[in-house]
Amino acid sequence: MEQKRLKYTDQSLSGLGKASRAQLAAVLRKSTGTVTPAMAAEVLSVSRVDAAKLLSRWAAQGWLQRMRRGIYVPVSLESERADPSPEDSWVIAEAAFAPCFISGWSAAEHWGLTEQVFRTVQVSTTRRFRNREPKMGGIAFRLRTVSEKEFFGLKTIWRGRTRVKVSDPARTIIDLLSDPSLGGGLRSSADMLQNYLASKEYRNVGQLLSYADTFGVGAVFKRLGYLLERFAPDEREAIAQCARSLTKGNAKLDPALPAKRLVTAWRLWLPEGWQAP
């Protein structure tokens, strides 16, 4: 359930001096979901060093929650927890990992392509982070580094006053075909593809092919062709186009699983339990 947003006033910001209350109220009114030293410095017309000190002080007093260095979120007065999770993890992702977009199972959840509940937010970013599975404010993230040319097939979603990019349904499926672990594994990724194909709103096999071509990874066509042949055999032209787009060499249907059976028509190694259509 979404938490009720607090309207910060001088009266509600008890425990602070009058000047500090006014400063914090001004910063929170400007906030789009997160607070940074740069933003606070601009609002308060102070240096970034002084702004960072103020944010640290307010966090220590319980008015802000520190997500990571230089990123804070307001703490709702209605929360009973000492370290409440922020209302929207996508806003935190945008502040912490931009340029980025929400992808994989998180995007699939957003578009209703899965009923599974994933407790980790999947994020694709151009930046390289040493920790690929950071946690901030009780929220777990899984990061994947991508190039700028992979920023296609995206939709902009408003989260409060923050714009966040998310892969559209077709692009989400192509990501899962490039790496089934982005969907939680082969079985769940295949289920998401079947839900996409069953969707009257989202199904667009032509767009899948176009995105696969833009993505430029041969294994995507091999997996897409095999799975279309299995789950949508009436898509004959799409299956034929996948066959024409095959690259040399063999790939695995799921790189994470051992595979002993080769489907030569698709140059694809299948794990146990999967057969040719």
CATH of residue 72's domain is 1.10.10.10
pLDDT tens, position by position, 137-153: 788 999 999 999 999 99
Residue 248 has pLDDT above 90, yes or no: yes
Domain span at 193 = 89-203
pLDDT at 15: 57
pLDDT at 136: 83
pLDDT at 105: 97
Distance CA 25, CA 260 (A): 63
Q: Tell whether 177 and 244 lie within a shared domain.
A: no
CB atoms within 10 A of CB 19: 8
Written as one string, the DSSP assignment of 193-223 is HHHHHH-TTT--HHHHHHHHHHHT-HHHHHH
Q: Tell whether 100 and 174 lie within a shared domain.
A: yes
Average pLDDT, integer, range 49-67: 78
- pTM for this model (two decimals): 0.78
Q: Which of 29-38, 155-164, 263-272 has the highest average model confidence (pLDDT)? A: 263-272
Query: Does any domain span residue 67?
Result: yes
pLDDT at 276: 63
Lowest mean pLDDT, pick from 54-68, 146-160, 182-196: 54-68
The total number of structural domains in the chain stands at: 3
Strand 162-167 relative to strand 139-145, pairing: unpaired
Average pLDDT, integer, range 16-26: 76
pLDDT at 230: 95
pLDDT at 41: 86
Show which of 203, 227, 251 is a domain's final residue.
203
Q: Tell whether 187 and 132 lie within a shared domain.
A: yes
Q: Tell whether 42 and 3 lie within a shared domain.
A: yes
Residue 258 has pLDDT above 90, yes or no: yes
Average pLDDT, integer, range 154-161: 88
- Mean predicted lDDT score pLDDT of the chain: 86
Instruction: Output 151 or 161, whichever has higher pLDDT.
Output: 151
- Of 87, 84, 94, give the one whose Cα is nearest residue 138: 84
Instruction: Output 40 or 261, whichever has higher pLDDT.
Output: 261
Phi, psi of 156 (to 5 degrees): -100, 125
- Side by side, the strands of the sheet bearing 162-167 are 135-136, 139-145, 120-125, 100-102, 162-167, 154-159
- Of 247, 248, 238, 133, give the one whose Cα is nearest residue 181: 133
Distance CA 203, CA 77 (A): 44
Query: Does any domain span residue 210?
Result: no
